[in-house]
Structure 1
Amino acid sequence: MLELKDVDFVRDGKLLLSGVSLTAAEGERWALLGPNGAGKSTLLGLCGAVTHPTRGTVEILGQRLGTVDIRTLRESIGHVNPRHPLRSPLSIRDVVLTGLTGTIERMPRWEPTAAQEGRALELIELLGISALAGAPWTTLSQGERGRALIARALISDPRLLLLDEPSTGLDVAAREQLLETLDEIHLRHPQLAWVLVTHHLEELPTCTTHAALLRDGRVLAAGSVDDVLTTELITQTFDHPIEINRHGGRWTATARRRTRDR
């Protein structure tokens, strides 16, 4: 589904990613963690065919960047960005339908088919916002917008889903609703692979299977969550003593006091 080999990414003369290699298979649900400036959003841009590597190779859904029509490839990738730049009062239904055209606004003179309309309403129901299907975007809470954007990403039946800090701006209740929704999406679409970017382990759904840790543009560790989300590796990634625990399939991170020499 996704394979990066020895990827470097340079912007304005600055090396943002260095020697990054990562492979995600069908049905794997990856968490991408690291401190601010580690390169998470840059890496997600490569995974979404938004940018190209400076060196190395990126293959998405069996297609190598640089040898494929990016517009066609992006049709199979769902991208959830909580900073969605829509400013007009489109209804949730219309926002979800824009996922079919890959646009922010509804395309002029474009009308969805009856099947597409039905699919949009199915996803709106799956995301638990049926009562708001006709509500304008400008009146929605951040949590409601987040769920609408996930429905928008899913309407094209993508094979790969990218979630860029989907819990941004959510209160505790809205965050928990979002994570429950992601677990439900996994149950409904078990073959869907995804990469979720976050700073916080508490924002990972229970269905997370793999994790990659980034620091200073390099992959510090990548693999099964049981092997990667450990006290030792998280402490190294964030350069601070952090205790990691897991209860009921969810993770918590607690700062530990540094020991002082006597």
Structure 2
Amino acid sequence: MMIDARDISWRRESKEVLSHVTWQVRKGEQWSLVGLNGSGKTTLLKMINGYIWPTSGTLSVLGHPFGQIDLRRLRRRIGWVSSALASRLRPQEHPENIVLSGKFASIGLYDEPAEGDRSRAKEILERLDCSSFSNRPFGTLSEGEKQRVLIGRAWMASPELLILDEPCNGLDIFAREQLLSIIRQMASSPGAPTMIFVTHHVDEILPCFNHTLLLKAGAIYQSGLTRKIMTPENMTAFYGGSVIVEQHGERLSMAIRS
């Protein structure tokens, strides 16, 4: 079991941000996590990464119950790609060093890379089509280029669990499709990690993400197979407004019903 959350809640002062969440993710499964702003997605991700603890309930990640493992070591086995991370990186840092830092789960490269690490970082940058800007400062890159570097950083540690937190946010349609193509290739590669893809947009959910968790107001609205969850009736009830969900090729699209 990669994630085993049982009746977990998290309170901040008098407000319950997460309420009685029970969710299991098994090795090799690929999940999308969908919810509006304020639904509790970020809180749930922080908890999985060990930055906050459940106020109540039990949580086990990668087979280790919280309280029985050094969470710093656990984080080295989890890749987390988020815009919050990008804002913490030094603008003058080069992509190769950022990718290398993923091995140590650090913000910045402070440890001496082992022999072969730099070669692996270059291979990852090449695989993610980053070679053309690998010597440019991170702060000069486009949003799409930054996201590819962050995915490379997460990939450097050979994570068992990879969390992509709204990776397409702020990208134009061409950069988005390029990034989704890379994610599709990663998901289908041998030894691919269990992946969680967080999004607001149904049309970003690739076919490989065949499980979906809907989170609403801090509680699980529904979880299960994507094809059973992404119906017009269910998503209309989830969003509280009438929507159309249609299949276009391998992807879904959603629009407000006029």
| TM-score normalised by L of structure 2 | 0.95
Amino acid at match of 1:19: H
Deviating more after overlay: 243-252 vs 189-198: 189-198
Q: Is the 8 A contact 2:34 2:212 kept in 1?
A: yes
User: What are the superposed Cα offsets for residues 205-245 of structure 1, whole Å, 9 maximum, x if unpaired?
Assistant: 23111100011111111011111122122112211111111
Query: Matches of 2:50 and 2:164 in 1, distance apart?
Result: 14
CA 1:191 to 1:92, structure 2 compared with 1: closer, same or farther past 3 Å? Answer: closer
- Counterpart in 2 of 1:58? 59
Amino acid at match of 2:92: P
- Counterpart in 2 of 1:90? 93
Structure 1 consecutive aligned stretches of length 4 or more whose deviation exceeds 3 Å = none
CA 1:185 to 1:59, structure 2 compared with 1: closer, same or farther past 3 Å? Answer: same
Amino acid at match of 1:59: S
Q: Percent identity?
A: 36
Query: Matches of 2:127 and 2:233 in 1, distance apart?
Result: 38
Deviating more after overlay: 178-187 vs 130-139: 130-139
Q: Is the 8 A contact 1:34 1:199 kept in 2?
A: yes
Deviating more after overlay: 68-77 vs 42-51: 42-51
Deviating more after overlay: 111-120 vs 59-68: 111-120
Q: Is the 8 A contact 1:209 1:225 kept in 2?
A: yes
Q: Is the 8 A contact 1:82 1:149 kept in 2?
A: no
- Counterpart in 2 of 1:102? 105
Deviation at 1:189, TM superposition (A): 4.0
User: What are the superposed Cα offsets for residues 74-126 of structure 1, whole Å, 9 maximum, x if unpaired?
Assistant: 1100010123221331111011011122222221xx32123111111111112
Listed as ranges, the gaps of 5+ residues in structure 1 are 258-262
SS in 2 for 1:121: helix
Aligned pair 1:145/2:146, yes or no?
yes
Deviation at 1:170, TM superposition (A): 0.5
SS in 1 for 2:116: helix
CA 1:20 to 1:244, structure 2 compared with 1: closer, same or farther past 3 Å? Answer: same
Query: Matches of 1:129 and 1:219 in 2, distance apart?
Result: 37
Query: Matches of 1:164 and 1:12 in 2, distance apart?
Result: 26
The within-5 A match list for 1:1-262 is 1-83=2-84, 84=86, 85-107=88-110, 110-257=111-258
SS in 2 for 1:7: strand
Amino acid at match of 1:213: L
Listed as ranges, the gaps of 5+ residues in structure 2 are none
How large is the RMSD of aligned CA atoms in angstroms? 1.3
Deviation at 1:191, TM superposition (A): 4.1
SS in 1 for 2:57: strand
User: What are the superposed Cα offsets for residues 36-67 of structure 1, whole Å, 9 maximum, x if unpaired?
Assistant: 11111111112222211111111111001122
Query: Matches of 1:189 and 1:245 in 2, distance apart?
Result: 31
Query: Matches of 2:92 and 2:205 in 1, distance apart?
Result: 31
User: What are the superposed Cα offsets for residues 11-50 of structure 1, whole Å, 9 maximum, x if unpaired?
Assistant: 1221011111111111111111111111111111122222
The alignment of Structure 1 onto Structure 2 pairs a total of residues equal to 255
Query: Matches of 1:104 and 1:126 in 2, distance apart?
Result: 23
Q: Is the 8 A contact 1:77 1:160 kept in 2?
A: yes
| TM-score normalised by L of structure 1 | 0.94
Q: Is the 8 A contact 2:91 2:140 kept in 1?
A: no
